[in-house]
Structures are given as C-alpha cells and as structure tokens.
Homo-oligomer: A and B are copies of this chain.
Amino acid sequence: MKKAELLMIPGPTPLPEAVRAVMSSPAMGHRSAEFKDVLKRVFPSLQRVFRSKNQVFLYTASGTGSMEAAMCNTLNAGDKILVLVNGVFSQRWSEIAKTLGLNVETLDVPAGEGHTPAMLKEYLEANQVTEYKAILLTHSETSTGVLNPVRELTAVIRQTHPDALVIADTITSLGAAEFALDEWDIDIAVSGSQKGFMLPPGLSFLALSDRAWQAHQSCKHPGYYFNFTRYQKSQLENTTPYTPATHLILGLDAALALMLEEGLENVVKRHAQNQAMTRAGLKAMGLELFVKNDQYASPSVTSFLPPEGLTVDAIRAGLKKRFAIIIADGQKELKGKIMRIGHLGHVSERDVLTTLSALEAVLNELGYAVPAGAGIAAATKASREAVASHA
C-alpha cells in the first residue's frame, strides 16, 4: 500500500486540505472584482503576520527573489554592507550582494552556531567608523537549524549604527518564531510561501519600515519586476503591478485564515512544542543534535548527526521506503553529515510523534539499538512541559 508522503523537511511543508482545495479552482481573472476582494483580505493579514503598519509587498517569486528585491530596491552599487553568515542561506545574502556590486563584509560563525549579541556588539564597536548602509541577518538559518536572535542583534546595531538598514531573512521563521517588524525596529523582512505560510512555493513577501522606504527613494537602479514603487501604488488599489500567481494567492487567503483562526501566538507555541518534542526525542535516542544550544535552536527545523556507523543516506532511505516519511539531508559541506527534520508550517504534534517512532524503527533495523519507545517517551514529556510552560 502506498500512503501519501509525510514531508518533514524545512519547506515545502505539508499543505492543509483547505489550501489544496482552492489550488484546483477554475481560472480566475486577476483584475476581477472577486480577485480584488481576495487581495483586500490578504494584504492586511500579511501585515498582521509581519506585525507591521506598512504595506507588505506580495511577489510572484520564490524567497530568493524577495532577498534580491530587498537589496536592489534600497542599496546602490559600491555601498558597504555587513552580512552575518552562519550557513548556506545567510551566505546567499552575500552572494546576491556581490552580483549587485555591493561592497560586502561578512561576520562568520561556524555552522550550527548563532551570532550572539555580545559578539556583534564587540565587532561593531571595533568598526564604529565604518558606514554600513545595511546589515543583513538570517532569523532561522534553514541549512543548520540555528535561530539567530534578530531582535537582540538589531538592538545592538542601533547602538553604534543607528542608520544602517537592518534586513532580515525570515523565510523559515515567520509563522514559526515570534517576530515583530515595527516593534523590533527591523527595516526589511522577507519570507516565502512554502514555509510557515503552509502553501506550495511560488510566492514571497517583503515587509519594510519607513527607513527602508526612504532608502528606496535614493536607489538608482531598483529594477522593474521587484520595484517597490510599482507594488506600493498597485497594492493601494488592491491589485498587483503584474499578473500575480492567482491560485497560490487563493491558497494564501485560505492559509492566512487558518493562521489567524489558530492565533499567531498559538502558531508560535505549536512550533515551540514541535521543536521541544523533536529535540528531546532525538536526544533520548542517543542522537547528537547539531545545534547544541537550546536558546539558538530554530522552531522550524532540527538537525542531528547519524549515529556512529550509520549513514545519512541509509536513514533517510529507510524512512522514505518503509514509512513514506521524508526528512532532509544537509546542504553543501554538510551533505551526508547531518539530517534535518522540518517541523514547520502545517505540522502537528502527531506528525512529530509519527516521525520519531518511524526513526526509532529505522535505526533499530539498521543495527543501532534504541531502547523501545525512548524517543516517544521523552517527546511526550517535552510536549507536556511545553504546554504547561505556556499555560
């Protein structure tokens, strides 16, 4: 018998039935009154998720498109920027920046670790005279499962470099970790549909501060497809400057309704619970977590190492073949070294328990003895504690 796959990767995440249902809608005119009504609901809901009083731009593009949009709309070739790098996706900020002719400096920490406010403070104090036009952060570094404390890091930046644009990749953190653009004084945040928004990929979102909008006014080559000015004008009239991905937006409308119905705080609690369960379960099975520090662990994805003698390939293949459960490999240098369980988006406590039970069976089958039910026992306990701590 073939069951549908259970996708436990850090995006695309499983899709709610309500989203799948509208994805197969008949064709819809993107300039119709009906579609404007959809956008009229979607735009303010996006503002609630980003916690911003300003418009959130809706791009038909994947998250990387929004990352380029963040920079090409606010910075000019030659501008000095600082990128905090600790994995593949924070590295992408600096790759894009180089393509745009920006003058890139990086502050690197090893994969699996986060940037601490103390470390950033020290670095920025030593570079007090450098005029960084922007400092780029990654909230949840998807390639390793680290959550960088963007709120605290931004506070540190404001002490020495108050005018720098703080630009954050919140692609796998939004709708999973707490985030508040305005209150935290962040200038730009970008996110993607196939993550906390529980949609297929193809849409991305960009929220921005007044400071970022000001920077856009003196940007010389903001391009066309991602141009802030064009989106700002169109969205005021509940439309988009170019033909948008109508069906993904119908899905977005359904997904945002689910998120707001659950309550954004509850969504964040559910992810914290998924994370606590996964970490506790893996540890109880004697597995080594890649992110050691609980405080820096992403609520969206948990990485762990294969036990001595087993390969990442064998474990992932066992989960897929016997249980139709998909977990992710490491990326680039971490390929074959770590595995990543995504517990992001439309993922419940049940999915986490399912994955941990299946992992126990696969590990035993591959010759790594796990005490029967150890992972599940620890995860269930962590779940109870997570619920209690939020009560």
- Interface on A for B, CB 8 Å cutoff? 4-5, 7, 9, 11-15, 20-21, 23-30, 32, 60-65, 68, 72, 77, 95-96, 99-101, 192, 194, 200-202, 221-227, 241-248, 326
Contacts and interface: CB of A to CB of B under 8 A. Distances in A.
A23 B23 contact: yes
Contact of A200 (B61, B62, B246): B246
B24 A20 contact: yes
A225 B68 CA distance: 7
A360 to B, nearest CB: 23
Q: Can you list the 8 inter-chain pairs with the closest CB atoms, starting with the nearest?
A: A202-B245, A24-B24, A200-B247, A64-B242, A20-B24, A62-B243, A96-B224, A201-B243
Contacts of A246: 12, 194, 200-202
Nearest to A98: B224
Contacts of A25: 20
B100 A221 contact: yes
A87 B135 CA distance: 43
B24 A12 contact: no
Given A4-B26, A29-B326, A201-B245, 6 more contacts: A60-B201, A63-B242, A72-B223, A200-B247, A202-B244, A247-B247
B23 A99 contact: no
A221 B4 contact: no
Q: What copy number does this chain have within its complex? A: 2
Nearest to A26: B4
Contact of A12 (B30, B63, B64, B77): B30
Given A12-B246, A29-B12, A243-B62, A222 B21 contact: no
B227 A99 contact: yes
A20 B24 CA distance: 5
Given A26-B20, A225-B64, A201 B15 contact: no
Given A24-B20, A26-B15, A223-B72, A326 B32 contact: yes
Contacts of A24: 20-21, 23-24
A72 B27 CA distance: 31
B60 A244 contact: no
A29 B11 CA distance: 8
Contact of A99 (B20, B192, B200, B223): B223
Contacts of A20: 24-26
B223 A223 contact: yes
Contacts of A21: 24
A61 B65 contact: yes
Contacts of A224: 64, 68, 95-96, 99-100
A202 B326 contact: no
A111 B13 CA distance: 47
A5 B28 CA distance: 8
Given A23-B23, A61-B61, A192 B227 contact: no
